[in-house]
Structure 1
Amino acid sequence: MDLVRETWNIAREDIARVGVVAFLSLFEKYPETQNIFLPFRGLTVDELQHSARLREHGLRVMLTVEKCIARLDKPEKLQDLLHDLGQKHVEFNTKVDYIDMVGPQFIQAIRPVVKSDWTPEVEDAWEDFFKLLIYFMKEAMCF
């Protein structure tokens, strides 16, 4: 997971933008997901791009990713964090299947920021990282 940490340090310089791009990509690829978020229902892409609320939400998600990265060496703390997050998503009536959609959109958003440091190995590391996050969130959502 060293590759995740190293590339996160690059992406962190503009994490709010990465968060917005990730959500715009999610909403574009899976339009039904936009309706999950009350503040974003019915907004156009242009409105979303300039939405302070989307920027705030994207930043909050990116800071959670950062917390997860910081806990990679503390598996119990990482698991607790993600179980809590999974439970919050149950309270928001988020479909479990939607959780699988976030990782690929985040990777798509971070790749251009990391630029030439993005390699197939880095992509594999991020995919593994999101598989771990998704596993623990879904574990909490399904039980």
Structure 2
Amino acid sequence: MTPRQIDLVQSTFRRIAPLQDVAADMFYARLFEIAPQLRPLFPEDMRSQKTMLMQMLSAAVTGLRDMDSILPALTDLGARHQHYKVQPQHYDFVGAALLETLREALGPDFTPEVEDAWAETYALLAGVMKGAQRAAA
């Protein structure tokens, strides 16, 4: 990732962070709309799941300039996804839901450059997690 992409991701995330409950609701609503088959993989009560999502996103976004600082958490999360029956194609649904949530939350500030930066970020994070998941299989 370029420094500019990291700046874009971090600055747009700072705008969403104060609305993290709303953003998490939007994300999971979109995810289950795109891929309803994923709903059974999640708990009935999503409150803690939503909190964990936003905490992990925050840590990942904050750590983009120092990937070594977030690799252990991403690796651990990826390995745990093996036990949750997550399939490699599920990451595509999550990425699509994330980008659509950001598009809705940021409105006209979700420029093509911002979208590309977030897509690159997600690809990087998901790549680490998928690798750890394969290693745990």
Identify the TM-score tier after normalising by the shorter chain: 0.7 to 0.9
Instruction: Name the structure 2 match of 1:20.
Output: 25
User: In the TM superposition, what is the alpha-carbon distance from 1:30 to its structure 2 partner?
Assistant: 0.8
Q: Does 1:5 align with 2:14?
A: no
Instruction: Name the structure 1 match of 2:79.
Output: 87
> Secondary structure in 2 aligned to 1:95?
coil
> Is the 1:4–1:126 Cα contact (8 Å) retained in structure 2?
yes
> Is the 1:20–1:55 Cα contact (8 Å) retained in structure 2?
no
Compute the TM-score of the two structures, normalised by the length of structure 2. 0.87
Unaligned runs of 5+ in 1: 40-52
Q: Does 1:101 align with 2:93?
A: yes
Q: CA RMSD in A?
A: 1.4
Measure the CA separation in 1 of the matches of 2:130 and 2:70. Answer: 14
User: In the TM superposition, what is the alpha-carbon distance from 1:7 to its structure 2 partner?
Assistant: 0.4
Residues paired across the two proteins, number:
130
Compute the TM-score of the two structures, normalised by the length of structure 1. 0.84
Counterpart residue identity of residue 54, structure 1: M
Counterpart residue identity of residue 32, structure 1: Q
Measure the CA separation in 2 of the matches of 1:106 and 1:81. Answer: 19
User: In the TM superposition, what is the alpha-carbon distance from 1:38 to its structure 2 partner?
Assistant: 3.9
Unaligned runs of 5+ in 2: 1-5
Deviation digits for residues 100-123 of structure 1 (CA, Å, limit 9, x no counterpart): 221210111122222232211000
